[in-house]
Amino acid sequence: MNPLLDFSALPRFADIRTGHIAPALAQLLAENREIISRIREDPAMPAWQNFVQPMTDANERLARAWGQVSHLNAVLNSPELREAYNTHLSLVTQYYAELAQDQALFEKFKQLRESKEFEDLSSARKMIIDNELRDFRLGGAELPPEKKERFLQIQEDLSALGSKFNDNLLDATNNFVLHVENADELGGIPYDVLETARQTAEKDNAPGWTFTLHAPSYMPIMQYANNRALREKMYRAYSTRASEIAPPGPVRDNAANLDNTPLITRVLELRKEEARMLGFDCYAQVSLATKMASTPQQVLDFLGQLAGKARPYAERDLEELRQFASSKLRLENLEAWDFAYASEKLRVERYAFSEQEVKQYLPETSVLPGMFKLVENLYGIAIIPVDEAEVQLWHPDVKLFNITDKGKLIGRFYLDLYARPGKRGGGWMDDAISRRRVDAEKAGEQRIQVPLAYLNCNFPAPVRIDGQLHPALFTHDEVITLFHEFGHGLHHLLTQVEDLGVSGIHGVEWDAVELPSQFMENFCWEWEVLSNMTARADSLRSNGSLGETPCTHPSATDGSDNAIPSKRAGTGVSIPRELFDKMAAARNFQSGLQMLRQIEFALFDLRLHYDFDPAGDKTAQQLLDEIREQVAVIIPPRFNRFPNSFSHIFGGGYAAGYYSYKWAEVLSADAYSLFEESAAGKVIDRETGVRFRNEILAVGGSRPALTSFIAFRGREPEIDALLRHNGMTTT
C-alpha cells in the first residue's frame, strides 16, 4: 500500500518516497470530490451525520497525507521533495479554495444552522458550524460567479509565494559558509561550537573550522566571539539573507535567485486585492475576523500601550550597554554586530555569571526528563519514550513519546530537536493526527482517535569528542523555546474534545493559541523546576592550544580574553542555588529592549496589512525604517533586510497576527499568576494544574478563548502580571 494512504496507525516515514506523492494525492482528491459531489446533491435535510461527518472524514484523510508531505519538506528538504511539494501544493490549495467557495455547501450549512437539530447539538459542534459559516464567507462563497475564479487564483498564488519565500530563506541560510583556518581568530567561542565547526569542515574536506548561518553556529559567534570582524561578517550575511544584497564571502550556490523582495510586494498586493473582494478595507480586517481582537485600531492601541510602558526601560537598557561597551570593551560606537557580545559581557559583570556557565548545567539528558516530570506532576499524566525499533522515524535523531493518563494512551508526539541542513529554522509545533471520535471496524462501534504532534527545534546536536559522544548542552533560552513548543504540543494532545474542527489547537483564536506555550515558559524561572532538570557537564582541561574556558565571573579567570571553552563530562550535580539566584536577578536583563523589539515587528506586520499601499512609492523596508524611527531605540544598519526573512508573516500563518505573541503573553502571565498565588506555596500545584488542563487545554477551540480564560482565572485578563514578570512595575 502507498504509505501516504495508510491511516491505520502512525505515519510510515521510512517507507515514504517522492514517487508516492502524486498517486496518493490524485486518489484522495478524486475520492474527496466524489464525496463532496454526493453530499452536495443529496436532497435530504442536512444533518451532522449525513453532511458534516462524511465531509470531515474525507478532508481529514487528505490533511493527514498532505501533512506528512509538508512535514518532510520542512525537516528533510531536498530538491526532489521540494519540486514534488510545490507541484502538488497548488492542487491541494485549489481543492480547499474550491470547497470554501462552494455555494451549495454554504447553503446547506446555513440550513443546518437554522434547523431544529442544531439546538440539540453539543456546544463543540455548534461552534464548528458557526466557524464553517464564517470561513465560507472569508473563503469567497458569497462572491458572484465571475469573481470566484479570480479569488481562487489569488489563493493559489499566495500559497505558491509563501512556499517560495520559505525556500529562498532556507537556501540562503544553507548556502553561506565561512571557513576559518587561523585559531587565533576564534577566541571566546564555546568549545562545543568549535568542535561542531571542526567536524563540519572535515565533512567538506576543508581545514580548520566551518561556520554557517544556522542558529547553533551563528548565535554563539555573535554572543561570544572576541573577533569583531568575524561578528560583522556573520551579521551582514545573516541580516541580508534572501535579499538583493549579495552575501559576503563564499556561498555554496551562487546561481540561485533567492531575493524575497519582489515576493513581499506581490504577497501584499494579492492580500489587499483579496480583502477588497471580500468587502473589507484591508487584509488586517480579514485576519482579525478569526481572532480575539476585533479591529486593527484595537491592536494598535494595545501595542502602543505596551510600547509606552517598555520604552523607558529600553532607553535605560541601551544607555547602560553603551556606557559599559565604551568603558570596559573600548567600543565607542556600538554596532549591530556588537550588541549580543557586549550584552553578554555586561551580564557577566553585573550578575557574575554567563550563559555558557548556565549551559553546563543543562544537558539534554537532564532537561527532557525534568520537563516531563513537571507536566506529569501538574497534570497527572505520564510521558513514556517509545522504542525506536517499534516505529518509523524520518531521521535517526528523532524520538517518539507516548502520553498516558492512568495507564491509558491519550497522546503521542515526535521530538526533533537538532538543527541540520535541509531543516527550516526556528521552533514549531504541528499536528499530525487530531483527537476525535471515529467509527471502528465493527459496525456501530466507535473509538477515540489518539492525537499525534510534531515538536521541532533547531538546537545544537550532541558532540563527539575524542570518540566519546557528549549530550547536547542547551542554553537557558533554548530551554525556554523547548518549553514553549511543548506547551503548544500539550494544547493539542491533552484535549478532551471529540470533534475534529475544535479539537486541540483547531478552532482556537490565533491570538490566543500562544497562551499555553508562553504559559509553559514561566516554569523555566522556578527553582523547584530548574533544580530538578539540571546536571553539571563538568569542564576538563583541553589539550588544545587555545586555552581553557572562563565559565565564571571574570575575576575568577586567568584574565585571558582569547579563552575557548574546554571539553566536558557529566557529574550529575544540579545547578547551585547561588547561580540560579543570579539568573533570577538577571531575568529582566534588557527586557525593555526585548519587548520593544517584538512590538516593532508586530507594528510592522499590522501596518503592512492595514494602511500600507504595496503599489505606492514606499517599500516595505521603508515602512519598517519609519516604524523603527518612531518606536525603536536601536536602529539596525541600512543594509539590514529583516523583512526578507520574516517568514512568520510571508511564509507562515501570522499575517496581521504577529501581535498575537504579546496579546497572548498578557493571558499567559495572568494565568500563571494563579499558580504563583497557590495556597500550597509552590507553583507545581496539582489542583491548579488540573484546573488549567480542564479549562484551557482540554476544551481546545470548543468555546471562545476568553470564556476559557475566565473559567480558569475567575475574571477577565489583566496586564499587571505581564508587566511584573518583565520588571516594568514599581513592586
Rounded Cα–Cα distance for residues 315 and 599 (Å):
15
Average pLDDT on 659-688 reads 93
The predicted-structure confidence for 49-93, as pLDDT tens digits, reads as follows: 999 999 999 999 999 999 999 999 999 999 999 999 999 999 999
Burial class (CB in 10 A: 0-12, 13-18, 19+), 18: middle
Mind listing the pLDDT tens digit for each residue in 175-225? 999 999 999 999 999 999 999 999 999 998 999 999 999 999 999 999 999
Instruction: Give me the percent of the chain exceeding a pLDDT of 70.
Output: 93
Classify residue 472 as left (phi > 0), alpha (psi -120 to 50) or beta: beta
Confidence of residue 679 (pLDDT cuts 50, 70, 90): confident
Domain with CATH 1.10.1370.10 in the chain: 281-332+588-731
pLDDT of residue 296: 98
Predicted local distance difference test score (pLDDT) of residue 446: 74
In the CATH scheme, what architecture does the domain 364-534 have? Orthogonal Bundle (1.10)
- Please give the grid coordinates belonging to residue 507: 478552532
Question: Alpha helix locations (H) across 394-533?
Answer: 476-493, 515-521, 527-530
Averaged pLDDT, 255-281: 93
Q: Is the pLDDT of residue 619 over 70?
A: yes
What is the distance between the alpha carbons of residues 191 and 187, in angstroms, rounded to a whole number?
10
Cβ 360 vs Cβ 377: under 8 Å: no
Q: What is the CATH architecture of 3-142?
A: Up-down Bundle (1.20)
The CATH number of 281-332+588-731 is which of 1.10.1370.10, 1.10.3720.10, 3.40.109.10, 3.40.50.620? 1.10.1370.10
Note whether 433 and 413 are within 8 A (CB): no
Predicted local distance difference test score (pLDDT) of residue 538: 59
- pLDDT tens per residue, range 86-113: 999 999 999 999 999 999 999 999 999 9
Q: Answer yes or no: is pLDDT of 254 > 80.
A: no
Which amino acid appears at position 173 of this protein?
A: T
**Res. 542: pLDDT tops 50:** no
Q: Using the predicted structure, report yes or no on whether residue 533 has a pLDDT greater than 60.
A: yes
Active-site residue, from 132, 344, 478, 485: 485
Q: What integer best gives the mean pLDDT of the chain?
A: 92
- Cα(201)–Cα(180) distance, integer angstroms: 9
Lowest-confidence pick of 131-140, 337-346, 466-475: 466-475
Average pLDDT over residues 161-169: 97
Give tens-digit pLDDT for 635-663.
999 999 999 999 999 999 999 999 999 99
Q: Is residue 26 over pLDDT 60?
A: yes
Distance CA 608, CA 169 (A): 20
**DSSP sequence for 350-388:** HHS--HHHHHTT-BHHHHHHHHHHHHHHHHS-EEEEPPG
Q: What is the pTM of this model?
A: 0.91
User: What pLDDT was estimated at residue 725?
Assistant: 93
| Active site annotation includes 485 | yes
Q: What is the dihedral of CA 448, 454, 455, 459, to 10 degrees?
A: 160
- The pLDDT of 299-305, averaged and rounded, is 97
The CATH 1.20.1050.40 portion of the chain extends over 3-142
Q: How confident is the model at residue 728 (pLDDT cuts 50, 70, 90)?
A: very high
Give the pLDDT of residue 569: 41
What confidence tier does 238 reach under pLDDT thresholds 50, 70, 90?
very high
- Which ranges in the chain are annotated with CATH 1.10.1370.40? 364-534
Cβ proximity of 539 and 567 under 8 Å: yes
pLDDT of residue 571: 52
The phi and psi torsions of 703 (rounded to 5 degrees) equal -150, 165
Report the range of poorest mean pLDDT among 173-177, 244-248, 726-730: 244-248
Q: How far apart are CA 606 and CA 631, in angstroms?
A: 14
